[in-house]
Amino acid sequence: MKFFIDTANLEQIKEAQDMGILDGVTTNPSLMAKEGITGTDNIMKHYVDICNIVDGDVSAEVISTDFDGMVREGEALAELHEQIVIKLPMIKDGIKACKYFSDRGIKTNVTLVFSPGQALLAAKAGATYVSPFIGRLDDISTDGLNLIAEIRHIYDNYAFETQILAASVRHTMHVIDCAKLGADVMTGPLKSITGLLNHPLTDIGLEKFLADYKKGN
């Protein structure tokens, strides 16, 4: 299972990268705005800064909603760095743009996916990644994890190569449940990754080992 971090915060990206377990980064316009990164030039530069920190794929989202605009923006983003993955919204023109880029060997991530049918379309269009938003479904009393299970079932029926990128992950249990269900990738905040470290018995055990070592030295 790949671990992506869902942020535009360079310090948090560095922290996850330093742990040696980071496989990539996802961003979106809201995450960029949260870090105060505004304006096309600054946003483009920030993508390059992120690529220079991590080794893996970095999703960069287009803001156009028409095919020509998405192609124009996506091509400019793809030029920035070989690690850039073009993130496209799950709308008709987004699917068309996904097919355009996949035919040209450019990686894509179809985002804002909330149903199995949408995920099926993304796979048909040759998406590298499909991003079902599990946290946002949970927010409206719908089982986000069930969507991961449904997409896994459909993709396995036909051996689709599109990777299921569980997005809108909010906490450690989402990560564990997505791993059980066979999501290929998860993207979440730093705390959803570092939280996996924690167990009180680990802390108690380590404290005892260190105390016992001191007794004999």
Report the interface residues with ligand E4P, using CB under 6 A: 6, 26, 28, 111, 131, 133, 135-136, 167-168, 187
CA distance 84 to 78: 6
3-state SS track over 142-197: CCHHHHHHHHHHHHHHHCCCCEEEEECCCCHHHHHHHHHHCCCEEEECHHHHHHHH
CB neighbourhood size of 198 (10 A): 9
Q: Tell me how far, at minimum, the Cβ of 67 lies from ligand E4P, in Å.
A: 21
Show the CA angle centred on residue 157, arms to residues 154 and 159, nearest 5°: 100
To the nearest whole angstrom, how small is the minimum distance from the Cβ of residue 183 to ligand E4P?
13
Supply the residues annotated as catalytic: 87
Between residues 171 and 204, which has the closer beta carbon with respect to ligand E4P?
171
- Residue placing its CB nearer to ligand E4P in the complex, 63 or 204: 63
The distance of closest approach from Cβ of residue 28 to ligand E4P in the complex, given in angstroms and rounded to an integer, is 4
Of residues 135 and 182, the one with the C-beta less far from ligand E4P:
135
Would you say 131 or 150 has its CB closer to ligand E4P?
A: 131
Closest CA to 59 of 104, 101, 111: 111
The amino acid occupying position 143 is D
